[in-house]
């Protein structure tokens, strides 16, 4: 369900922005008649796309696993503000207001891609997981990094994934991956690759149930990555 809403959200955002940029271009090229004609013919589409953006985006925020990061909160506020401003700016033929909206959408795109209010990827310190399940800091130097997947699990994302592992997996596998309750595989010795682990998590194997209906594709992917960090 989450994946479907994500696809819908991305699609309607792209369509809304395309229509907005076309009309903004007409405004900046001093073609008010063409702008009004285009606005009139796409008025219903603007309303539908705007509503779908808010509904799908609202669902994704509500379904977000863990505390909402600052960049996501800012993104939501800016989008909710920019959509009506875009309509008002074009209706009033205000180049200044329309330009401001263009900048807002550009900034929103930047923070969405980088997940940072500074519009640059947060390199931070990679976080490692020891065999006993404790979280620590790994060396940011590529030569000293002990696991290539460490760079994909950092900060809040790692904490959220560890919480999912604790809730769904630790009872049988243990925090360190080698409890072996109910015939659970020792994750420290497992030879399964990430794709195979993802398949098992989604569909189950033996006595282990599948979690494909409970977890999103991203959560399953991150959980598979996390489980490899327990390997000795």
Residue 146 has a pLDDT of 42
Burial 31-57 (b: 16+ CB within 10 A, else e): eeeebeebbeeeeeebeebbebbbebb
- The DSSP bridge partners found for residue 127 are 137
Structure tokens at 40: 């009139």
Q: Which is more confidently placed, 145 or 192?
A: 192
- pLDDT tens per residue across span 55-77: 888 887 787 656 677 888 898 89
Query: What are the sequence ranges of the domains in the chain?
Result: 2-114, 127-228
Residue 124 has a pLDDT of 43
Residue found by looking up tokens 């073609």 in the block? 31
Is CATH 3.40.50.2000 correct for 127-228?
A: no
Residue 232 has a pLDDT of 61
Residue 127 has a pLDDT of 40
- Residue 116 DSSP label: S
- pLDDT tens per residue across span 79-137: 999 999 999 999 999 999 999 999 999 999 888 877 788 877 544 444 444 434 333 44
Residue 26 has a pLDDT of 96
Residue found by looking up tokens 């809040």 in the block? 156
Query: Alpha helix (H) ranges present in 29-177?
Result: 32-41, 43-62, 70-91, 95-114, 155-168, 170-173
- pLDDT tens per residue across span 149-159: 444 555 567 78
Residue 56 has a pLDDT of 86
The number of C-alpha atoms within 13 Å of 140 and in the hemisphere containing its C-beta is 5
């Amino acid at each position: 369900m989450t994946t479907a809403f994500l696809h819908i959200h991305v699609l309607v955002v792209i369509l809304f922005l395309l229509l907005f940029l076309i009309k903004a271009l007409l405004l900046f090229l001093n073609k008010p008649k063409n702008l009004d004609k285009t606005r009139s013919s796409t008025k219903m589409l603007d309303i539908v796309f705007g509503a779908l953006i808010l509904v799908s985006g609202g669902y994704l925020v509500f379904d977000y696993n863990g505390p909402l990061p600052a960049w996501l909160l800012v993104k939501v506020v800016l989008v909710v503000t920019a959509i009506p401003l875009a309509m008002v700016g074009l209706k009033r033929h205000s180049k200044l207001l329309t330009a401001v909206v263009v900048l807002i959408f550009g900034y929103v795109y930047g923070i969405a891609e980088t997940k940072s209010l500074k519009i640059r990827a947060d390199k931070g310190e990679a976080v490692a997981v020891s065999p006993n399940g404790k979280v620590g800091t790994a060396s940011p130097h590529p030569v000293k990094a002990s696991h290539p997947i460490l760079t994909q699990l950092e900060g809040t994302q790692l904490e959220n994934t560890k919480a999912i592992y604790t809730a769904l997996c630790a009872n049988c596998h243990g925090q360190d991956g080698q409890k072996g309750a109910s015939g659970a595989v020792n994750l420290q010795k497992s030879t399964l690759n990430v794709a195979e682990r993802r398949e098992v998590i989604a569909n189950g194997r033996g006595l282990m149930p599948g979690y494909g209906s409970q977890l999103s594709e991203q959560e399953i992917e991150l959980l598979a990555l996390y489980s490899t960090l327990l390997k000795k």
